Structure 1
Amino acid sequence: MTRRILLSHLSLMLLVLLALEVPFGFIYTRSELTRFSNTAELGAVTLAVVCEDKLEHGRASDLPEIARNYAQRTGSSVTVTDHDGTVLTDTDTDTDTDTVGRNISSEPDIATALHNRTATGTRDGPVSNSDILFATVPGTSDNTVSCVVRTLYPLAPLTQRVHATWVALAVTGLGVLAAVALIGFALARSITRPLRALERATAQLADGRLTHPPATDRGPPELRRLAASFTRTATRLQHLLHSQRAFASEASHQLKTPLTALRLRLENFEPHLTPCAQHSLNEAIGEVGRLSRMVQGLLALARLENSAITPEVTDLDTVVADRAAIWTAFAGEQRVDITVAGTKAGQVWAVPGALEQIIDNLLSNALRASPPGATITLATATPPADSGRTAPMAELHVTDEGPGMTEADRQRAFDRFWRAADAHHDGTGLGLSMVQRLTHASGGEVTLNAAPHGGLDAVVRLRPVQAAPTRSNAAALQKIAPLRSPNTAGNRPRAQRISGRQR
């Protein structure tokens, strides 16, 4: 903004200077030429009176001396002719031919003067780029032309003086522009200082905490009111965020205890129930477990939305191999195979711990959807860059051989709590939402596609290490680490993962 304000000041001042100096320069040039022409004409008239008087008294021999003296005094050249246009004297030494006695009545200015009219103007000189001013006047007596006097003045001194004036105007204009630039820069910095303070405060607020609020007693009144409103809004937002974080932290502890106690009490009923009530008890215990996982998922999403960290370098191939090895044992219980395929994807940018959670949730969904004897494929690839990307994106495909999803279901699958109408499992409907949030927090994207041979192909695209990392919203993942790995002591994958198959 400082630059724009400065440019606007300079543009306005430049227009003012051009509107003032350019007309002044042209007016000065024209007035100088007119003044010089009038002076030359007046001098020629005076000389013509003297020459006419000499000729009238028969003293034509005095004309050369008079012409030379005048020429030396005025810096001009003088030509005097008689009433027929024959040259009586000529002081012009630039020509090699003696023009005395030569008839020049055919020349336009001489012919005009012989008709008792004055002729003034400019014409090209004998040397290129050397214009001259001529003033040709008749010497008359009783309306009879006795002689003609022509004076020639070089315009080079006048041109130099005019050029010097233009240079002085240009230097003055540049000086004024320089002074205006300095003053305008100081004013622009003063005007935009509150805006820069607001910008810094906004960046701090985006990072999670406003430590230096903008001053509310500097700058124009409008910016002062804006700074005050921003400070109140930022304070309110920080208070709300702090309250929300406190709620998520407290709820994670307060809700776990009663849910655990409720499950234990329900399990204690088992020896005292008749066999016909055992099924209802198992369903109640399952619903309590599902409620516990849902609470954990909601709290994890709340932490994810309330924190901000920077993605770090993560080896995608290593994480894929590690998660596949861990999940193979649990997949074997359902007679489902897990294979790793594709090319090396290398290192990618990901929020710490996010990639493990993404793979765990996608494998959990795929395992729930896969029938016995099916195969789940984890494939990594780095496709070539297209015109829409500046760098290739590393891809992770998690493909199952289940029933798949319709196009409408795939569009809604990332919504919180969404579950397909034909879903017959204890999933919470939060797993794919977590996958999407974690992928976006890492600077990537996730899509669900139909697999070529049936089933679902979940595609996660992440930025390779060649791309610069960006700050993004992410979870305080250390707090939700127990949700990400199925090998946590005492937990099976069904009880740990936040999502079930959302199909």
Structure 2
Amino acid sequence: MTCRIQLSHLSLMLLVLLALEVPFGFVYARSELARFSNAAELGAVTLAEVCEEKLERGLASDLPELARTYARRTGSGVTVTDRDGIVLTGSDTDNVATAGRNLSSEEDISTALHDRPAIGIHDDPASGGDVLFATVPGNSNGTVPCVVRTLYPVAPLTEKIHATWAALAVVGLGVLAVVALIGFALASSITRPLRALERATTQLADGRLTDPPAPDRGPPELRRLAVSFTHTATRLQHLLHAQQSFASEASHQLKTPLTSLRLRLENFEPHLAPCAQHSLNQAIDEVGRLSRMVQGLLALARLENSAITPEMIDLDAVVADRAAIWTAFASEQRVDITVAAARAGRVWAVRGTLEQIIDNLLSNALRVSPPGTTITLAAATAQAGSDSTPLTVELHVMDQGPGMTETERHRAFDRFWRAADAHHDGTGLGLSMVQRLTHASGGEVTLNATPGGGLDAVVRLRPAREARPRNNATALQKYSPLRGHS
């Protein structure tokens, strides 16, 4: 913004300078040429009057000296002709002024012989440049006894005009330099509070505002904006802190009564009739499901209220560790867990999220896997799209269960959603948590159908050799969630 403000100031000043200096330069050049022409004409008229007086008095012999003296004094070339255009004399600087030469055919001499002055500029082959000529008649009682032509080189006048243009350019550049310094100072004073607001916004996006913008710098509008922003940021931080406090306190306050309720229900078991045993078991299962749902909601709340930064994690090691832990649980249901031999290497992920992602996906897969089936974990690099797109790391968790329809796969990431024909005790929060954990790590998750009718949960993450995502906000901007998902 500083450059834009300064550029606007310089552009405006440049237009002003051009509007002032260019017309002034042209007016000055024309006035100097007019002054030079008038001076040349006045000098030629004066010399013509003197020459005409000399001829009337019969002192034609004085004309050569008079012409040379005038030429030396004015730096011009002088030619004097008689009434017929025959050269009487000329100065040494006028190579054309050869005594006895007839110049009546030349336009300016012919004009002067008709008692009209001629003034103009033409090219002089002898000097190799332009000259200003002033040809005037020596008028005496309506007759023209002589004609005087004076020639002045235009080069000195041209150099003077060019020097004036150069001076105007230097002055313009100086003014632009001063305006640039002043504009830079003004732009810096205006944008400095904006830069402070930008830094404060970045800090707030990262989770905590440690350097609020100063409310006493910049224009009044920016000062009021800084005060409003600081108030808003403080309020948001207070709300986030309150939510985090609620999540941590609710986790403790809800866990204790739910555990107590479960124990009381289990204590009823010896005293109930066999016909009520089924209802008691269902109540205990519902309490367990409620407990897991509360834990899932609190985990999502903590995740959404935290500013987290991805780190380099060895995906292969995490997959092997979680597979080894879940193998015992899978054996109880006569389900096998296998890990593909391909290696994926390190990926960018928030510390601890990969374990939660794999645990939730394996838990869902075990709920729907019939006995005698296999759950496969495979992690490998894959092309993100076209040949020009970078590689991604894909983690597949594939089961051989009943699978999902396309509509169900799109809704599976909604909170509390469960399939209509689901007979397991899931809470409907597992896949929602997987999606948010994946987004926080800068990746995305999709559900695909497998050829055998099961489900393939694909988690795509960025390989660790790519640029590091700054935080979960940056990751969420880069990887948008699936259409239709919450």
Given the two structures, how large is their TM-score scaled by the length of structure 2?
A: 0.92
Q: Structure 1 residue 453: deviation in Å? A: 3.8
Secondary structure at 1:436 match in 2: helix
Q: Deviations over 1:304-336 (max 9, x none)?
A: 011112110011222222222322332233333
2:195 counterpart of 1:172: no
1:385 to 1:250, Cα distance in 2 relative to 1, 3 A = closer
Secondary structure at 1:210 match in 2: coil
1:127 to 1:420, Cα distance in 2 relative to 1, 3 A = farther
8 Å CA contact 2:383–2:389 kept in 1: the answer is: no
Q: Structure 1 residue 144: deviation in Å? A: 1.8
Q: Deviations over 1:273-293 (max 9, x none)?
A: 222222111111111111111
Which stretch shifts more, 371-380 or 413-422? Answer: 371-380
2:477 — aligned with what? none
Q: Structure 1 residue 300: deviation in Å? A: 0.6
Cα distance in structure 1, aligned partners of 2:123 and 2:465: 71
2:289 — aligned with what? 290
Alignment of 1:184-223 (within 5 A): 184-223=183-222
Q: Which amino acid aligns with 2:79?
A: T
Secondary structure at 2:149 match in 1: strand
Cα distance in structure 1, aligned partners of 2:126 and 2:345: 80
Gaps of 5+ in 2: 474-484
Cα distance in structure 2, aligned partners of 1:452 and 1:430: 26
Q: Which amino acid aligns with 1:105?
A: S
1:326 — aligned with what? 325
Alignment of 1:183-332 (within 5 A): 183-332=182-331
Aligned-pair Cα RMSD in Å: 2.2
8 Å CA contact 2:68–2:92 kept in 1: the answer is: no
Q: Which amino acid aligns with 2:300?
A: L
Given the two structures, how large is their TM-score scaled by the length of structure 1?
A: 0.89
Which stretch shifts more, 17-26 or 83-92? Answer: 83-92
Q: Deviations over 1:158-217 (max 9, x none)?
A: 111111111111111111111122222222222233323322322232232223333333
Secondary structure at 1:255 match in 2: helix
Cα distance in structure 2, aligned partners of 1:193 and 1:200: 11
Secondary structure at 1:382 match in 2: strand
Q: Which amino acid aligns with 2:72?
A: Q
Cα distance in structure 2, aligned partners of 1:103 and 1:342: 113
Secondary structure at 1:63 match in 2: helix
1:107 — aligned with what? 106
Cα distance in structure 1, aligned partners of 2:37 and 2:97: 27
Cα distance in structure 2, aligned partners of 1:223 and 1:203: 18
Q: Structure 1 residue 386: deviation in Å? A: 4.3
Cα distance in structure 2, aligned partners of 1:432 and 1:94: 105
Cα distance in structure 2, aligned partners of 1:133 and 1:388: 75
2:12 counterpart of 1:27: no
Q: Deviations over 1:96-155 (max 9, x none)?
A: x77332222222222222222111111123278732111111122222222221111111
8 Å CA contact 2:80–2:146 kept in 1: the answer is: yes
Which stretch shifts more, 465-474 or 404-413? Answer: 465-474
8 Å CA contact 2:76–2:152 kept in 1: the answer is: yes
Cα distance in structure 1, aligned partners of 2:383 and 2:231: 49
1:48 to 1:472, Cα distance in 2 relative to 1, 3 A = same
8 Å CA contact 1:104–1:110 kept in 2: the answer is: yes
1:342 to 1:28, Cα distance in 2 relative to 1, 3 A = farther
Secondary structure at 1:309 match in 2: coil
Cα distance in structure 2, aligned partners of 1:75 and 1:237: 86
Secondary structure at 2:289 match in 1: helix
Q: Which amino acid aligns with 1:362?
A: L
Structure with higher RCO (Cα < 8 A, 6+ apart): 1
Q: Deviations over 1:368-409 (max 9, x none)?
A: 222333332222232235469763222222222222222222
Alignment of 1:350-369 (within 5 A): 350-369=349-368
Which stretch shifts more, 454-463 or 198-207? Answer: 198-207
8 Å CA contact 1:198–1:227 kept in 2: the answer is: yes
Secondary structure at 1:308 match in 2: coil
2:66 counterpart of 1:66: yes
Cα distance in structure 1, aligned partners of 2:226 and 2:453: 58
Cα distance in structure 2, aligned partners of 1:42 and 1:342: 107
Which stretch shifts more, 384-393 or 208-217? Answer: 384-393
Cα distance in structure 1, aligned partners of 2:61 and 2:239: 113
8 Å CA contact 2:417–2:428 kept in 1: the answer is: yes
Q: Which runs of at least 4 in structure 1 moved beyond 6 Å after TM superposition?
A: none
2:430 — aligned with what? 431
Q: Which amino acid aligns with 1:69?
A: T
8 Å CA contact 1:6–1:184 kept in 2: the answer is: yes
1:152 to 1:342, Cα distance in 2 relative to 1, 3 A = farther
Q: Which amino acid aligns with 1:424?
A: H
Q: Deviations over 1:3-30 (max 9, x none)?
A: 2222222221111111111111111111
2:336 counterpart of 1:337: yes
Cα distance in structure 1, aligned partners of 2:68 and 2:433: 107
1:293 to 1:40, Cα distance in 2 relative to 1, 3 A = same
Which stretch shifts more, 53-62 or 127-136? Answer: 127-136
8 Å CA contact 1:385–1:391 kept in 2: the answer is: yes
8 Å CA contact 1:305–1:473 kept in 2: the answer is: no
1:53 — aligned with what? 53
Cα distance in structure 1, aligned partners of 2:244 and 2:139: 111
1:116 to 1:293, Cα distance in 2 relative to 1, 3 A = same
8 Å CA contact 1:306–1:473 kept in 2: the answer is: no
Q: Which amino acid aligns with 1:231?
A: T
8 Å CA contact 1:342–1:381 kept in 2: the answer is: no
2:134 — aligned with what? 135
Cα distance in structure 1, aligned partners of 2:184 and 2:196: 18
- State the aligned residue count: 474
Q: Deviations over 1:11-54 (max 9, x none)?
A: 21111111111111111111111110111111111111112222
2:133 counterpart of 1:121: no
1:433 to 1:111, Cα distance in 2 relative to 1, 3 A = same
1:482 — aligned with what? none
Gaps of 5+ in 1: 475-501
Which stretch shifts more, 261-270 or 183-192? Answer: 183-192
1:385 to 1:415, Cα distance in 2 relative to 1, 3 A = closer
1:182 — aligned with what? 181
2:49 counterpart of 1:41: no
Cα distance in structure 2, aligned partners of 1:300 and 1:365: 17
Alignment of 1:69-80 (within 5 A): 69-80=69-80
1:376 to 1:39, Cα distance in 2 relative to 1, 3 A = same
1:158 — aligned with what? 157
Which stretch shifts more, 379-388 or 396-405? Answer: 379-388
Alignment of 1:392-431 (within 5 A): 392-431=391-430
8 Å CA contact 2:376–2:398 kept in 1: the answer is: yes
